[in-house]
Amino acid sequence: MPVNLPTLLTWARIVMIPLVLGVFYLPEHWLAPLWQNVAGALIFTLAAITDWFDGYLARKWNQTSAFGAFLDPVADKLMVAAALILLVQLGRADAWLAAIIIGREITISALREWMAQLGASKGVAVSFIGKVKTAAQMVAIVVLLLHVDFIPGIDLAWIGSCCLFVAALLTLWSMGYYLRMAWPELTGRK
Supply the pTM of this predicted model.
Answer: 0.89
Q: How does pLDDT run across 22-76, given as a tens digit for each residue?
A: 999 999 899 999 999 999 999 999 999 998 888 888 889 988 888 888 888 899 9
Domain containing residue 158: 5-187
Q: What are the residue ranges of helices labelled H in the chain?
A: 5-23, 33-60, 66-89, 95-117, 128-146, 156-187
* Residue 97 vs residues 81, 86, 148: alpha-carbon distances, Å: 11, 13, 21
Residue 104 burial (10 A CB sphere; 0-12, 13-18, 19+): buried
CATH number at residue 148: 1.20.120.1760
What one-letter code names the amino acid at 29?
H
Between CA 177 and CA 172 the distance in angstroms is 9
CB 108 within 8 A of CB 129: no
Q: Say how many Å lie between the first and final Cα of the chain, rounded.
A: 36
Q: Please tell me the total count of domains within the chain.
A: 1
Q: How does pLDDT run across 96-117, given as a tens digit for each residue?
A: 999 999 999 998 888 878 777 7
Of the candidates 64, 56, 78, which has an alpha carbon nearest to the alpha carbon of residue 11?
78
